[in-house]
A and B are shown apart, each in its own frame.
Chain A
């Protein structure tokens, strides 16, 4: 299954939320829609699911136009941010809901629900009420409810934002594993660039309703098209000169007693294997990162004078 979006635009009243988005997803691909809150990514997702009417543009799923199809016939199944699990139904009732709507008989349905529950490790919780299971389990129910339909397309709306960090990392690996195993074309909304990089085949960075850049994680991180994308993907330094702007990630700063640059450390954070520091050179503050082991006895304490050089080979020219 492929997804193709052509010129999608939408406004809440007079407030534009999505402005002319074009995007295509290949079969089995997982694309992360990344952007700050309020950039229109969830709106875009709801338009694809058919939950917002009145959008401009055209939507194709597997080369078939679904722009005007009602939500219940799109088979673009969504995993909601707050899960939207029906509180009056049991775990199994929630997971089987979509199958029931599709007219599947009780026996087959129970069978399918049981299988998917095994897959997402919810075995034995079928009769439990939604509010009696943990947040992580609710997340699995939401996932199972979508997966059991064997959907053509999966839409994830920040599915992990309500979980704590450890669980988030475990779940994203699990989601990625199942998605790859079943080969479901997926669009995954998140505002967490690390999550996007970890899970996605490609990342589409959004800002103010427009897609700024689409590319595989490495490409977007290392060759951002503009300062917004560069900053959103992580800490960076901008070097201007000769009509071009160089984007240098913190690891391109190399501590070197013979380096051509000298400055004063403004602040530093010890992060275990890494030390991240800010160094002032004249008016400019650079962000650097170095392996903890390389600092030796060097504390990189605030006020300390250091020399370093910039590994320009590993910087990229912005917009190129």
Chain B
């Protein structure tokens, strides 16, 4: 029974994750004259393709630099000093973790695009002849990335700051180190592993980013958008090769990062007493931090507020004016009364639910095997669930096409399956954390009191890890609900997800409708992430 379950699970993971990745590799080697590296040769000799690869790496590196500066600054600002409204700031700053990147891009277009609210305001206030800046190309993408992808640096460095050892810092000061020396000789070594692992995550999301390059990239070509082009033009072999190159970039950086992370990591000794935030005494500095904090709140909330407000713009009323004048509930009424408009919302809800529930069924046993057993097959499970993590969304989408297009071409289920693969590592992670937090004593006590394995699992283990399972389900759900990249690769006219409907409406100048979709995604996401936070608190 146990083995049967395990074999079944291995089959599912093999078919869903490993086989498609492998088939992309095979497809990338396929040419008219049998297997060869011709597709790769083409990629590395054609001007346009070389440019796209170069741009991808450039975007990755610049994203790491920009986000590293911003994220680290924010982490120190919020967690190292006793900044006013620290808790609120912390919660707001974590928003990009759950808010779909697409929603931010769309909001940015409405704010800073050619006819965006902020752009037009600046033009009219300063009586400018033309737009003061161009929100497109590399700088536009970087701005979006700066806004959304600082999150890994922020989270990792915040955690590292919380684990700083107050006594070590005091000792350094006591031994005569200046504040600057304390920073370089004590604080920096403590946060270095965090910086490196954050740079890995940021680089990977940077080179895998799709919504920003595809919507505001303009002439700035990167691999992810090229892959979609190849796919749309039916050059699947070329798309496969591009995917492999992208994955190669990601894994090389990942392995380098892991290597250096290991070299600079160390076991910090005492955990208590925890580091108290450093008090800022000078009144002028206090005012400055308060102002910075306030500005941050405004900046984070501005896109969200824009989406929310614009969702009430009455259809067909906002054409030439700078600011919309007529507001109504029409967009929402339309979504909930016209089946053509409601369809994408219902469809995405359905697909996200399917992906989330299926993910839970895979995550619970997989997490069990990887944390609680020493089975010889454990490495297989660890590898299979971590593989999608190293693959950008566009790669996952192409994998699904190369792996299943002959059986599932155009089938509805392809998209939720891809969502599932995309978010499975996070879902498993959530369950793994609860398993790890659960003391072995509980199951031992249960068996000692006479419960068999099954009753121990259903009566003790399952209730104790339930919050982790629910958090995992919600995480997969909200990530799938507003997912854009995979959707652009795999959607069909009869299977339109919310994100695609949102972008389509925007390009049809139905801004209000697009924003209403965006607001719905945001609402579900925010409620979901609030629930996740509570669930995580329970397991703690």
Are A78 and B464 in contact, CB atoms less than 8 angstroms apart?
no
Whole-angstrom distance from the CB of A199 to the nearest CB of chain B?
21
Complex CA distance for A4 and B314, rounded to whole angstroms: 85
List of B residues within 8 angstroms of A76 by Cβ: 448
Known pairs A87-B464, A88-B463, A101-B455; A72 contacts B447 (CB<8 A): yes
Spot the interface stretch: B163-171, B436-444, B488-496: B436-444
- Contacts A78-B448, A97-B459, A101-B455 known; 11 new A-B pairs at CB < 8 A: A49-B444, A72-B452, A75-B450, A76-B448, A77-B448, A77-B449, A82-B439, A86-B445, A98-B450, A101-B451, A102-B450
Are A97 and B449 in contact, CB atoms less than 8 angstroms apart?
yes
Whole-angstrom distance from the CB of A74 to the nearest CB of chain B?
8
Selected contact of B441 from candidates A71, A84, A88, A102, CB within 8 Å: A84
Selected contact of A88 from candidates B439, B447, B455, B464, CB within 8 Å: B464
Complex CA distance for A154 and B441, rounded to whole angstroms: 17
Known pairs A84-B441, A101-B455; A51 contacts B460 (CB<8 A): no
Are A72 and B444 in contact, CB atoms less than 8 angstroms apart?
no
List of B residues within 8 angstroms of A87 by Cβ: 464
Write out, one digit per residue, whether chain B residues 410-450 have a CB within 8 A of any chain A CB (1) or not (0): 00000000000000000000000000000101101111111
Give the interface SS of chain B, mostly helix, strand, loop or mixed.
Answer: helix
Residues of A whose CB lies within 8 Å of any CB of B are 46, 49-51, 70-78, 80, 82, 84-88, 97-98, 101-102, 145, 149
Are A78 and B455 in contact, CB atoms less than 8 angstroms apart?
no
List of A residues within 8 angstroms of B444 by Cβ: 46, 49, 51, 71, 78, 80, 84
Q: Which of B325-344 contact A (CB under 8 A)?
A: none
B interface residue count range (under 10 / 10 to 19 / 20 to 34 / 35 or more): 10 to 19
Residues of B whose CB lies within 8 Å of any CB of A are 439, 441-442, 444-452, 455, 459-460, 463-464
Are A72 and B451 in contact, CB atoms less than 8 angstroms apart?
yes
Enumerate 6 A-B pairs (CB-CB under 8 Å) in ascending A order: A71-B447, A78-B448, A86-B446, A87-B464, A88-B463, A101-B449
Known pairs A86-B460, A88-B463, A88-B464; A51 contacts B447 (CB<8 A): yes
List of B residues within 8 angstroms of A102 by Cβ: 450
Whole-angstrom distance from the CB of A251 to the nearest CB of chain B?
40
List of A residues within 8 angstroms of B452 by Cβ: 70, 72
Complex CA distance for A70 and B449, rounded to whole angstroms: 12
List of B residues within 8 angstroms of A51 by Cβ: 444, 447-448
Complex CA distance for A219 and B455, rounded to whole angstroms: 46
List of A residues within 8 angstroms of B451 by Cβ: 72, 97, 101
- Nearest 4 pairs of A and B residues by beta carbon: A84-B441, A98-B449, A84-B445, A101-B450
Complex CA distance for A98 and B463, rounded to whole angstroms: 17
Are B449 and A149 in contact, CB atoms less than 8 angstroms apart?
yes
List of B residues within 8 angstroms of A77 by Cβ: 448-449
Are B441 and A82 in contact, CB atoms less than 8 angstroms apart?
yes
Are A49 and B448 in contact, CB atoms less than 8 angstroms apart?
yes
Whole-angstrom distance from the CB of B464 to the nearest CB of chain A?
6
Complex CA distance for A36 and B120, rounded to whole angstroms: 77
Whole-angstrom distance from the CB of A113 to the nearest CB of chain B?
13
